[in-house]
Amino acid sequence: MGQENLEDERERRRQERLERRKRREATRRELGSFADEESTESEEAPPQEEPVEKAPAVAAEAAPAASEGRDRVRRPRSERGRQDGKYTVLVVDDEPDNLELLRRTFRREYNVLAADSGFAALDAVKGEDVALIISDQRMPGMTGAEMLARTVDTHPDTIRLILTAYTDVKDLISAINEGKVYRYVTKPWDPDELKLTVTRALEAYQLQLDNKMLLERLRENFAKTLQILAVTLDARDPYTAGHTGRVAYWSLEIAARINLSEEEKEILRTGSFLHDIGKIGVKEAVLHKNGRLTDEEYQHIMQHPSVGARIIEPMPDLAPMIPVVKYHHEKLDGTGYPEGLKGDQIPLLARIASIADIYDALVTDRPYRKGMPREQALEIVESAKGKHLDPDLTAIFTEIVQASPTDLPAPIMPGIAVGENGDG
The ranges assigned to domains in the chain are 53-211, 237-421
**Rounded Cα gap, residues 36 and 3, in angstroms:** 50
What is the amino acid identity at position 17? R
* Element spanning 111, H or E: strand 111-115
What's the CATH class of domain 237-421?
mainly alpha
**Rounded Cα gap, residues 411 and 342, in angstroms:** 30
Percentage of residues in the chain with pLDDT exceeding 90? 47
Query: Does the domain formed by 53-211 have CATH 3.40.640.10?
Result: no
**Rounded Cα gap, residues 199 and 205, in angstroms:** 10
Q: What integer best gives the mean pLDDT of the chain?
A: 80
Instruction: State the DSSP string of 169-203.
Output: HHHHHHHHHHTT-SEEEESSPPHHHHHHHHHHHHH
Indicate the pTM of the whole model. 0.54
pLDDT at 9: 65
pLDDT at 291: 77
Q: What is the DSSP letter of 83?
A: E
C-alpha distances out from residue 6 to 12, 13, 18, 380, Å: 10, 11, 19, 84
Q: What is the DSSP letter of 404?
A: -
pLDDT at 79: 53
The mean pLDDT value for 5-15 works out to 67
The mean pLDDT value for 302-319 works out to 90
Q: Per-residue pLDDT tens for 183-206?
A: 888 888 888 999 999 999 999 999
Residue 252 has pLDDT above 60, yes or no: yes
**Greater model confidence, 31 or 15:** 15
Pairing outcome for strands 132-136 and 82-83: unpaired
pLDDT at 81: 56
pLDDT at 281: 85
